[in-house]
Amino acid sequence: MKVIVVGGGLVGSTLAERIASDGHDVVLVEQSRALVSELNDRFDVQVVCGNGATVPVLEEAGIATCDMLLATTDSDEVNMVVALVGSEIFRVPKVITRLRHSGHEVGFRRIVGDNAQRVAINPEHAAVEKILSLMPVPGAVDVVPFFEGQLVIAGFLVRPKSEFNGLLLSHLRLLFPGNPVLVVAMRRDGEWRVPHGEDEIRAGDLVYFAVDPVELDNVMALLGHRHGKERRVMIAGATRIGIQLAHRLEDQKVPVTLVEPGRAEAESAAAELESTTVIHGSPTDRELLGEEGADAVDGFVACTDNHEENVVACLLARKLGAAHTFALVDNPALASLIADLGIDAVISPRLLSVGVALHFARTGNVKRVAALLDDAVEAFEAVVPGTSRLVQSPLAQLGLPRGILVAAVQRGDRIIVPGGADRIQPGERVLIVTTAAMTSRIDDILER
Amino acid sequence: MKICDAIRPELVFLGLSAGNAHEAIEVMAGELAASSKLDAAMVESALIEREQLGSTSVGNGFAIPHCKLANLGEIVVALARFEAGVDFGDNANHEPVSFFFAVLSPPDQPAEHLQVLSQIARILKNADLRKELIEAADVPSITRAIESAAQQEGL
């Protein structure tokens, strides 16, 4: 497949790299000369220097024969023009554009019509959805449902006091004999792996569990995570994300306190929201957070436009006793620095939009893609065709490469964790977890 | 709940013998009933029911049979040693079992139940502890060995 990515920022360059590593032919278009030379040094992807919203530059990038166009610059207006030129002039089969303002999305939709191959991604919506999916699972850094919610993958950082610290993975079946609870991926000392056999869980590990939802509270209890004293959420920052989140929580009848440092912003938020209590003040003011009851909240979400301040606010809330803290951080360097400080989840709208775009970019039997943290480990839910290698013999005899794990199978109306002696049947749905290095092997294993 | 606090010397049974897993659970349930207010038949059937979901043998000659039991006020941990070993029907994976850590829990304490199971599984990784439990001549040596292993594991 030939793919053009316009915009060489974090989203564009990450997408270009990932799509190229899937084996596609990628051209990246970027206007800034400085950034182009940096991209040339860092990536093995062809880069065209120029304004991607103009036809000659797009032609130079090869739009006439392009199968997929992604518009990922920081400007909604530029992305809109790129996407419309690709869609309406060159009839590119698949077009994806990043649009932050929902008003732009409305215009885009009116022009391209109701076409499933024309996708607008709103990173802020994606961030709100992510926070809402994490909120019911205190302590989780990521929660992704599979098999229509019959199984969830939830990632947790294991703390020294956790009852999982020192447990062998083989013991999970002892603790949870009836319902699926297994570890599908773990990161230790910066290294990711899909675990096998006698691995031991240790403090400091980031561990992804595949869990039957009825066991989630038990897993959380062993991890030492708990719900807050009150089912209340505190949001720092009346940004678009903060306001959207408050609206959604109001719909769920969850009490919300919104702290906003700007007086005008606080007043306009108070006028727009209904049951939410809006406080004018600094989200890094410890005394204020204490007075407003940050100690008892179930969730504390810092989503101001100042991402360093979000980190500080979350650390303060955590110290006061908030059960579950979320910081909006778009800078991967900052995100990796704070990984072990005790903030439960770092939300990056930009990286979330990468995940959504990759999801759309993939085709074939893979019905669902979930890019897990760091993009280093992925989980796929897919239907296994009769022609697949997977159905030919019991799992243990397939000789699957290390780094690929068939974690669960939907068999009838049950989810089972297959053992080495189990054989996958044609047409069954499976959950496969792989390290990024092995992702390109998946199509091979599923198809042949 | 800490594993050391859950172990009671009067519920450590040494010198037992049985022909198979079911019989071993029956023998232990009988000992347990004689030393506590528990009903032997109820304990036995609940443990057997759990065993049918999958063997609780964890290898190296140890098993952690467990169940939830209605009307129990607190978690009960009993230890039982079968000097000649017991065929646990799990021989494909593990050798015969000679030492039980049995855990009986009130149904309304799922987290504490899992905590105790997890702590037992964790201390049993310790080869020195396993050796001492198999070889110990009396109950105090057993409780001391467990306390020291738990401390090493940070419990």
Residue A295 lies in a domain: yes
Residue A366: the pLDDT is 46
- Give buried/exposed letters for A296-327 (b at 16+ CB in 10 A, else e): bbbbbbbbbebbebbbbbbbbbbebebbbbbb
Residue A129 lies in a domain: no
Output the furthest CA–CA distance in chain A (Å, rounded): 66
State the DSSP code for A89.
I
Q: Which residues of A touch B153 (CB under 8 A)?
A: 166
Contact criterion met (CB below 8 Å) for B101 and B132: no
Tell me if chain A has a CB within 8 Å of the CB of B154. Answer: yes
Q: Does A38 share its domain with A106?
A: yes
Q: Does A37 share its domain with A110?
A: yes
Contact B111 A173 (CB under 8 A): no
Q: Does A205 share its domain with A237?
A: no
- Over residues B10-27, the mean pLDDT reads 94
Q: At residue A130, what are phi and psi to the nearest 5 degrees?
A: -65, -45
Distance CA B1, CA A53 (A): 64
> Which of A158, A164, A169, A175 to probe the B interface (max B CBs under 10 A)?
A175
pLDDT tens sequence across B91-128:
666 789 999 999 999 999 988 999 999 999 999 999 99
Q: Which residues of A touch B53 (CB under 8 A)?
A: 177-178
Residue A190 lies in a domain: yes
Residue B30: the pLDDT is 96
Q: Does A12 share its domain with A82?
A: yes
Query: H or E element: which one contains A429?
Result: strand A429-435
Contact criterion met (CB below 8 Å) for A51 and A57: yes
Residue A372: the pLDDT is 58
Contact A221 B125 (CB under 8 A): no
Contact B117 A175 (CB under 8 A): yes
Residue A362 lies in a domain: no
Burial class (CB in 10 A: 0-12, 13-18, 19+), A156: buried
Contact A168 B64 (CB under 8 A): no
In chain B, what are the domain boundaries? 3-152
What's the CATH code of the domain at A46? 3.40.50.720
Percent of chain B with pLDDT over 70: 97
Contact criterion met (CB below 8 Å) for A276 and A312: no
Residue A63 lies in a domain: yes
Residue B66 annotated to the active site = yes
> Which of A168, A174, A227, A416 to probe the B interface (max B CBs under 10 A)?
A174
**Angle in degrees, CA A34, A53, A129, rounded to 5:** 90
Q: What share of chain A is helix, strand, coil (3-state, %, to 5)?
A: 40, 25, 35
Contact criterion met (CB below 8 Å) for A94 and A316: no
Kindly state the tokens that stand for A115. 């076409």
Kindly state the tokens that stand for B155. 């419990």
Residue A365: the pLDDT is 42
Residue type, A198: E
Closest CA in chain A for residue B116:
A163
Domain count, chain A: 3
Write out residues 59-118 of B within 8 Å (CB-CB) of A: 64, 110-111, 114-115, 117-118
Q: Does A219 share its domain with A237?
A: no
Q: 3-state SS of chain B?
A: CCHHHHEEEEEEEEEECCCEHHHHHHHHHHHHHHHCCCCHHHHHHHHHHHHHCCCCEEECCEECCEEECCCCCCCEEEEEEEEEEEECCCCCCCCCEEEEEEEEECCCCHHHHHHHHHHHHHHCCCHHHHHHHHHCCCHHHHHHHHHHHHHHCCC
Q: Which residues of A touch B117 (CB under 8 A)?
A: 174-175
Any bridge partners for residue B102, and if so which? B78
Q: Does A38 share its domain with A95?
A: yes
Q: Does A150 share its domain with A213?
A: yes
Domain range enclosing A161: 144-223
Of A81, A106, A121, the last residue of a domain is A121
State the DSSP code for A376.
T
Q: Does A54 share its domain with A162?
A: no
Q: Does A211 share its domain with A243?
A: no
Write out residues 236-255 of A within 8 Å (CB-CB) of B: none
- Over residues B73-100, the mean pLDDT reads 88
Residue A382: the pLDDT is 86
Q: Does A269 share its domain with A192?
A: no
Q: Does A190 share its domain with A156?
A: yes
Residue A354: the pLDDT is 86
From A172's Cα to the closest Cα of chain B, the distance in A is: 9
Q: Which residues of A touch B121 (CB under 8 A)?
A: 167-168, 171, 174-175
pLDDT tens sequence across A156-187:
989 888 999 999 998 898 999 889 999 999 98
Query: H or E element: which one contains A129?
Result: helix A123-134
Of A196, A223, A250, the last residue of a domain is A223
Residue A368: the pLDDT is 54
> Which of B108, B109, B117 to probe the A interface (max A CBs under 10 A)?
B117
CB-nearest partner of B122 from A166, A178, A217:
A166
Contact criterion met (CB below 8 Å) for A431 and A379: yes
Extract the residue ranges of chain A whose pLDDT is less than 70: 197, 339-340, 362-375, 440, 448
Any bridge partners for residue B7, and if so which? B77
Q: Does A317 share its domain with A258?
A: yes
> What spatial distance separates the first Cα and last Cα of chain A, rounded to whole Å?
20
Q: Is A72 helix (H, G, I), strand (E, B) or coil?
A: coil
The complex's ipTM? 0.87
Tell the CATH superfamily of the B3-152 domain.
Mannitol-specific EII; Chain A (3.40.930.10)
Q: What is the dihedral of CA A274, A278, A283, A285, to 10 degrees?
A: -150
